[in-house]
Structure 1
Amino acid sequence: MEAIEGTAALDRGGATICLLAVGLVFVLVGLFGAALGAARTAGQQARNSADFGALAGAGRALESDDVACGRAGELVRANGGRLVACRLDGLDVVVTAEVRVAPLPGLVRTATATSRAGPLRG
């Protein structure tokens, strides 16, 4: 009888540790999923910023490079991005925007996108 009681005393708390380990795995998988989602969202935000910036700049392409790129920069910033590059290629405006994201503390990533907009060619 003593051997059985001694073994039971050694097993005490084993299920708690196993449950904590499983919980930790779930937390880590959740953090990884959230980080991946934040990175994908930043990529989409960078594309939207670049698209809107290029469209806004194309509307002012006839005025000058400075005016077109100034307007593109305004729209990029309004959409949460940072204008990295802007140039006119004929009447087309090519805009590159970036969005910085910190999915986890201490982990900073940058999503970059480039868009072109101009008049319709037939």
Structure 2
Amino acid sequence: MAGSGERDRGAATIFVLAVGLAFVAAGLAMASVGTARVGRHQAHSAADLGALAGAAEAIYGQPAACTRAERFVSANGGEMTLCVVDGLEIVVHVQVEVRPMPGLTRHAEAAARAGPVYITIE
């Protein structure tokens, strides 16, 4: 007759495998969150730099300002989805493709505005 120790044989192996799988899943989840955050920061940087570059050309009109903004956004890994020039102000919307996990694609979005600061003296 087999003792109770014989029935538990191999249980520790299954337990260690389950714990290891939990650590791998947690690591993948944290890596996905980190990738998403990096994508968000990349989108913000591309939008900020594109808006600043476009604001320098805003005096020449929307086509010149948006063309320059687009060059800077693209150079920083983004895709410009909207560019609006109002006077000397420019608003740039940017989208960056993020792959948090293999086979999963998301988009991080950001917007930035640049232009002169108007001070009213009363």
Quote the residue 2:23 is aligned against: 26
| Aligned-residue offset at 1:44 | 0.9
Letter in 1 for 2:68: R
Q: What TM-score does the superposition give when structure 1 sets the normalisation length?
A: 0.93
Unaligned runs of 5+ residues in structure 1 are none
Q: Paired residue for 1:14, among 11, 14, 27?
A: 11
- Counterpart for residue 44 of structure 2: 47
Aligned counterpart for 1:89 among listed residues 86, 90, 93 = 86
Match of 1:120 among 94, 105, 117: 117
Percent identity of equivalent pairs: 50
3-state SS in 2 of match to 1:99: strand
* 2:27 is the counterpart of 1:37: no
Q: Which residue type is aligned with residue 102 of structure 1?
A: R
Could you report, residue by residue, the CA deviation over 1:55-100 in whole angstroms, capped at 9, with x for unpaired residues?
Answer: 0000001112111000000000111111111010111010000101
Letter in structure 2 aligned against 1:78: A
The one-letter amino acid of 1:37's match is G
Alignment-derived partner of residue 98 in structure 1: 95
Cα RMSD of the aligned pairs, angstroms, is 1.0
TM-score (norm 2): 0.93
Amino acid at match of 1:47: H
Displacement, 1:34?
Answer: 0.6
